[in-house]
A and B are shown apart, each in its own frame.
Chain A
Amino acid sequence: MAVADNKTEKRQGWNRPPVMEPDGEGELLEVAMGPHHPSTHGVFRMDVALDGERVIRLKPVFGYLHRNHEKLAEGMSYLGSMPFTDRLDYICPLTNNWAYALAVEKLTGQEVPERAEYLRVILGELTRFQNHASSIGFLIQEMGASGTPLMYAFRERERILDLFEALTGARMMVNYMRFGGCRVDASATWLDAARKVVAGLPGFADEMDRLLSTNEILMARTQGVGILRPELAVNAGVTGPMLRASGVNYDIRKVDGYGIYNRFNFRVPLGDHWDVYDRYMIRLLEMRESIKILEQALKDIPPGPVMDPKAKLRGFRPKPGEAYGRIEAPKGELGFYLISDGGPNPYRYRIRPPSLINLTVLEDMALGENVADVVLIFGSVDIVLGEVDR
């Protein structure tokens, strides 16, 4: 059993990070940033080797929040792990629910009623909006602008979470979607309230745009920093706003057209400088596209049932087989891989976490940059540790 020692290993190949040698005269400084560091989002640690201010090696260390959700899910019924998916990426629980429901629906071939599909799109896009808003807030916070942008984002997020609470009973741990539909229907009052909130969102996007996009300090700190080449981004499995900021046109809402996304008219913004500023800008533009989808969905939502009447919740036993279902979660491609052996619980339950796989290129982006910029680059990846460690 030979395990490579990363210190003596010689890195080769175009998709590997380069081996950097210290060129200064001073000593090499090794810093463990995290797991309790003010700049990290959660219990994440990177072991950084510094030559002066320059980063010459970076190793992410995971596992501080590991609870083996996959093993737990294999020991309980299919429906039993639905509440646990809320805890993966706790900023956007509804898209996690959606991805899991979609994978099980692929496994069993269930149909979802029209109204439930619309509700899923509305909730998914509200989730995307509040995730991007708060992720911009966190990014600016890590740049040193304490408070203002993050509090603006959280003010807007609070309005959206109020909608979630009114519909599902919980702000974050929603446990809302089911295989073949949604748990409860949205009332006309709720839809009116949602329309009112959505009417206020463009003003918020404008406000963030005016406040930040041309800010001199933001531009100086983020432009040209943390460049990610598109061919490496694709090869390293980077997805979501990070991939599109590298100029690759790949949005699963467009590619797979899962749910009813191909009925809506929206565009996929792409970056052409591949840096941290582009990642910020892509999130801002995607917020505006989400508003477009929300307006269309709230206008067209039809009446009807929200659960497939043939759907079975108790005694749910899919036939043997396997399925991989994926959606465009706010952070990237969230996939669930399920193997059924005909029993009441999944034989294999696997989550493809976008946050973890987007971190593959963290070292490539950070090498050669200043240590202060590593925090920014890390912030621009937009991760949640509940999903990285599972």
Chain B
Amino acid sequence: MKTVEEIKAAIEAAVPGAAVEIVPNPSPCGQHSLRLEPDHAVAVATFLRDELLFDYLSNATGVDWPDKEVTERVKVTRAVTKTVDGVESTADETVEETRKRVQPGCLEAVYHLYSVALKQGPLTIRMRTVNRTDQVELPSLTPVWRSAEFQEREIFDLFGIVFTGHPDLRRLLMWDGFKDHPMRRDYVEPDDFEYEPTAHDEVLARAQAHKDREQGVGNRE
């Protein structure tokens, strides 16, 4: 089978404007993957299916990468004014500072491709959304590989990625009236504590707290 570098070169030669990034996988199985840019994904997928004969999409799934707070230590040089024995002096000093910054999160769709014709595989391709809240659209690969039909519906259901161009995008496993996406890492299970009128303070407080929350259960919007 071709290496991911060769496949990347072939894609970039065939689909003008497609930027493909190799995502290394440190695991011993060495299944490195290619990150596609959503704009050219359908063209690249069609090329992979028709020219490189990856005619079988085995697995499609989502991964949630929430916003991550990264703590890093940076060396900063700044002028410090000191007073020693009544004499003021200014000198540059290098101090280490701890800074926190938020790495923006995203949702990711991962596809595993095989070739039935050449008996090769797997090739992993992945796409990322812009963020996790309002820009969660990705192009659907169902027109290229039909086996993505139910799996993309499942990703839409459990992760909340909206696949544009999917012929029948509805929830697959949860019921239609359900609001949240259970496979997201910040999903909070509905509070199913049953209200029972009772005189005990602790239970009463819990019941009251539940009553207050009741309207917001499973509803993030």
Contacts and interface: CB of A to CB of B under 8 A. Distances in A.
B151 interface: yes
B27 to A, nearest CB: 3
Contact of B59 (A63, A70, A248, A352): A352
Contacts of B16: none
A234 interface: yes
Secondary structure at chain B's binding surface: helix, strand, loop or mixed? loop
Interface residues on A, range: 35 or more
B57 interface: yes
B31 A323 contact: yes
B153 to A, nearest CB: 9
A321 B61 contact: no
Interface stretch (B36-44, B169-177, B200-208, B212-220): B169-177
Contacts, number: 131
B147 A360 contact: yes
Contacts of B25: 321-323
B119 interface: yes
A288 interface: no
A187 interface: no
Given A15-B146, A324-B112, A9 B168 contact: yes
Interface in A333-390: 333, 335, 337, 339-340, 347-348, 350, 352, 356-357, 359-361, 389-390
B59 A337 contact: yes
Contact of A237 (B58, B124, B162, B187): B58
A350 B29 contact: no
Contacts of B190: none
B183 interface: yes
Contacts of A62: 172-173
A234 B112 contact: no
B122 to A, nearest CB: 6
A3 B147 CA distance: 19
Contact of B167 (A9, A319, A347): A9
A106 B146 contact: no
Contacts of A109: 27-29
Interface in A317-331: 318-326
A1 interface: yes
Nearest to A11: B167
Contact of A4 (B26, B116, B166): B166
Given A108-B28, A319-B27, A237 B146 contact: yes
Interface in A155-173: none
B146 A360 contact: yes
A236 B149 CA distance: 8
Given A16-B167, A357-B150, A359-B150, A237 B119 contact: no
B29 A323 contact: yes
B200 to A, nearest CB: 31
A333 B27 contact: no
Nearest to B160: A1
A319 B26 contact: yes
B47 interface: no
Q: By CB atoms of chain A within 10 A, which of B143, B151, B174, B187 has the most?
A: B151
A357 B167 contact: no
Contacts of A347: 63
9 contacts: A3-B169, A6-B170, A13-B143, A63-B174, A250-B116, A321-B27, A340-B27, A347-B63, A361-B146
In the A-B complex, list the 9 residue pairs whose CB atoms are closest, starting with the nearest: A237-B147, A321-B27, A109-B28, A236-B146, A63-B173, A352-B59, A106-B29, A66-B173, A15-B146
